[in-house]
Amino acid sequence: MSILSVQNLDVLFNTDDGIITAVENVSFEIKEGEVLGLVGESGSGKSVTAKSLMQLNPSNTIYGEKSSILLKNDTEELDVLSMKSAKDLVVVRGGSISMIFQEPMASFAPAITIGNQMVEQLLIHTSLSKRESSELSVEMLERVGINEPGKRFFQYAFELSGGMRQRAMIAMALSTKPKVLIADEPTTALDVTIQAQVLDLMKDLVSEFGMAILFITHDLGVIAQVADRVSVMYLGRIVESGPVREVLNTPAHPYTKGLLNALPKLDALDDPLTPIPGDIPSPLERPSGCVFHTRCPEAIADRCDASIPSQTEFAHRHTASCFAIENVSEAT
């Protein structure tokens, strides 16, 4: 059963330069105990999609009329986009959905101890007393592998190492026992050793808490380690989705192929990397038709620039939006 269902999500921003489309017709579901990876270059709409799940985008945001975000908690199904006030959204923000950000130093208040911030969140989202909240906070710090949790509880974020701050952020996010955890580039600022430890920790916590995780990154290696399924985004659209092994081993969309070809290969370290040609277009100059056609080596003239390809399923739960794939499917 899906805990989170996102259907036909359109996210636009009303700016001085006009209406900008940041996310277009994005749909996905996440089940209990499942990790969905969301990958793509910077500017592809990953973080905007994630923030939409808690309505954290700025005040100039416009959501599409047909857009739907449904979240199941213990007692009811919540229609997130129908919630209009911050008071209504308290049950979602930090309650049923928690978020881990890329740089915890920018997320923790510098003049408030780690413990006080964790306690404040629990007092808002649970019925625990202050003493019970303090005890649970120390327990969560210990469960994420922080040494001397009682001591760390009284420390400030700047007194902790980068890896320890990220663990503290995870402990804080999990203390309210959310149904969905959003991890937005949670390992980017960490060295390789600490990154591996944090990824192992998150996999263990998925099993222990049974939550769903939306894991956002540009690192396909990280996705291979932690995700069950992956969706590839480009300029606000999901261009390919499927089981992570299927997508990474047999990519179908030219963009996914390009991302994989740009990775260094251990058996050919002297070979030059193969970057995707060109740059991701500005949302102000959004291409017509398939948004990737301006950089695509397989673009079909007078078709890819004129029409939006539909999702084609060519393996179990593995889909991609590409006219070149449709041509192959029709031929076979």
DSSP 286: P
SS3 label, residue 315: strand
The pLDDT tens digits of the residues spanning 168-179 come to 888 888 888 888
How far apart are the C-alpha atoms of 177 and 239, rounded to whole Å? 32
What is residue 257's predicted lDDT score, i.e. its pLDDT? 94
Size of the chain in residues: 332
How far apart are the C-alpha atoms of 142 and 120, rounded to whole Å? 19
The pLDDT tens digits of the residues spanning 109-130 come to 889 999 999 999 899 888 899 9
pTM of the predicted model, to two decimals? 0.89
What is residue 88's predicted lDDT score, i.e. its pLDDT? 86
Query: Residue 269: pLDDT band by 50, 70, 90 thresholds?
Result: low
The whole-chain average pLDDT of the chain stands at 88
What is residue 239's predicted lDDT score, i.e. its pLDDT? 96
User: DSSP labels for 188-250?
Assistant: TTS-HHHHHHHHHHHHHHHHHH--EEEEEES-HHHHHHH-SEEEEEETTEEEEEEEHHHHHHS
Structural domains in the chain plus CATH codes: 1-96+178-275 (3.40.50.300), 108-177 (no CATH)
User: DSSP labels for 90-105?
Assistant: TTTBTTTEEEE-S-GG
Query: Residue 189: pLDDT band by 50, 70, 90 thresholds?
Result: low
How far apart are the C-alpha atoms of 17 and 5, rounded to whole Å? 32
Judging by beta carbons within 10 Å of its beta carbon (0-12, 13-18, 19+), is residue 128 exposed, middle or buried? middle
- Write the CA distances from 258 to 162, 234, 250, 292, 324, integer angstroms: 32, 12, 12, 11, 15
